[in-house]
Structure 1
Amino acid sequence: MEKTKGINRARFLSAGAALGLAAAVLPARSAAAAKGGLTRRGVVYTVGAGATPGTAWSAARMREDVRVIRDELHADTLDVTGDGVERLTATAVEAAERGLHVWLQPTLGDVPEREILDSIAETGRFAERLRRQGASVDFSVGCEFWLFVPGIVPGETVLERVENLLKGNVDWEQMRRRLTRFTAKAAAVGRSVFHGRLSYAAAQDEEFEPVDWNLFDVVGIDYYSYHREPAEYVRELRRYLRWGKPLAITEFGTCAYVGAPEAGGMAWDVVDHSKEPEEIKGDLVRSERVQAACLVDLLEVFETMGLYAAMAFEFVTPDAPHRPDDRRHDLDLASYGITRVIKDRPDDPASDWHWEPKEAFHALARRYARCR
């Protein structure tokens, strides 16, 4: 697959925030909700092709990561997302074989609508085979279609669509009509090939992205709000329960610097991409403690509400390496990853690398371990 077809989710989280915009189907409330606590606790694992030779897809690396996610992070769910059906399915199999619940979600962008629907169908058929073999699987038909699917918002690429959104070069009513039409198509394709729980990952602003959740079995929300009081989160999330369906937080998290939680879904927007090499804007103060505290606080809210699932975004961001001795080029500051990436040769695109756990990893691991 060509690199231009892949999407680096860390760069485009809930772009609407920048606009000032606000098996059998599960019953309305899960058993966990009835007694309190989440049903599923997990992490997002993105399976893109990689932006550089050094971050290219590696099946061996993936297998070790999945082992760590189960045995050291103590997650019980893996949200497998990204592009490339072979990468998605290989990761889903590994997770299932290790006894993890699989939340499988193809995220393909900047290609014709037909290709995206074909990817949903192919991935969904695989998810159904996995489910029939006894694996625990939910299938999501995609993520924030307004951003990734050409023809809903003007622009041939994600970058162009984001720019048009920021500038207001959008016919909002037409956008919503196109979004509703494509979401219905995707749901129909997913339903035709997958017979377990079907979902979708929507932006959290319902005015911006209205979704007919009657099409799905689980309400899925990419959630990046910031509030000072837990009650405000509960008030905001409670409106999604009116559909009488389980609510999954398909993404939540922040970056590791002071002020990142307050920036919500735009915390990633601290990199000057016009520079070569790219560099961090402003004088950010790195703080892994801030990131860890934010994730734990949000998880506590989700647990209290007894939601169906919560998946922290994300396990690792290979294309945002940490440079502890060079703050200006420490791209990990713009990463939502709960691990930091260390390159053997920082200036070499082909360099090998490894990840190290951040404080957020350890904080989540402690919480998840208590619930296993």
Structure 2
Amino acid sequence: MQTSEYLTNFSAGIAPIPQDQWQALAQHCGPFLQYSFLNGLETCGCVGGTTGWQPHFITVHRHGTLVGAMPGYLKSDSYGEYVFDHSWANAYHHHGLNYYPKWISAVPFTPVTGPRMLIHPNADKQIIVEKLLEQAGRLEQFGASSCHLLFAQDFERHNACHAGYRARWSVQFQWHNYDYTDFDGFLSALTSRKRKDIRKSRQFLQASGICIERRGDGQIRPQDMAFFLSCYQQTYLKRSGHTGYLNQEFFEHLLKTLKNRLMLVIARQGDVPVASALFLYDDKGLYGRYWGSLRDVNGLHFECCYFQGIEFAIENRIPLFNPGTQGEHKILRGFEPIYCCSLHRLFASEFDAAVGEFLDREAPVITNYYHQAHNVLPFNATFRAQLISSPENKKGHF
């Protein structure tokens, strides 16, 4: 097939792209790459303007139809990415060079591994990959110092590394559904001590008058979302001095466009709502993203953000639950370490080589951290033995 049939270009975000053509690429790529989610970020002002995220997508068309794309942004800072490269920016500054703007392929404010190269199922995959990476290489003409694919999948890693990108590893924590029948079934996989600790925490909340309600499958009402927003903004303001990267318009947009992919937890103390957590999900995964509380109640964050998510995943036979980035406290609640990969290419060869040396030194530290986290998982010996002996266990966690 002649590659001259393909037209590669840049797009000022997702808005100029026909929704049906984008969805033909993204329909099985998780909730965060759906047209409604990315378009909501743009139309509600969470990206663009003075936010530090300028939409700059890469597209590949064949005969006028979109056959490949990479969601991307020109960045004037490194906030909201969760892959930390401030030391690289400082090195550029120290040598009188500009690190910003840089270009990243990612979902803003969403450190969840997923496709970064979206390809039409009927297209020639290898040709599209080559076209996407070639176009990314032209970003230097726009003044970008570098290209970064954040929280990429193995497919992107293999192809990007072959094209000269460098892989950087990190660790997150993710819960796996080993065909549990209910929450007690999950608890039975834990050590006796940890099982007692979780039950004691839940009993304390119950004795404190805390009642928990979950709303999913299109059941979230506008007033529920309004309460969640008040919790989210107040918690962000207390912790960071601002009301969060995402605004009221965006959450209202989600409720209108992705209502059947949202799950909301609301905690009440007596008759008074006091905390809330918002999740997105599909049949492949549950993703805990946003949380807020109006009262400090011991253990309430763990209940709303972790245990309610585990129960929901079990009830709906969802295979994994990603509760968000960072946090060693997740380990003792049954969340297992997983590797995440980001890919980096710096156009200045001397800096690219220096980053390569840094990543070579960093990799064994990340590996050691992964194994340390794995060694303190709270699963009991019987459950570990069952996983080891099971031919269906392909995760290799134990």
- TM-score, scaled to structure 2: 0.30
Larger RCO, structures 1/2 (Cα 8 Å, 6+ apart): 1
- TM-score, scaled to structure 1: 0.31
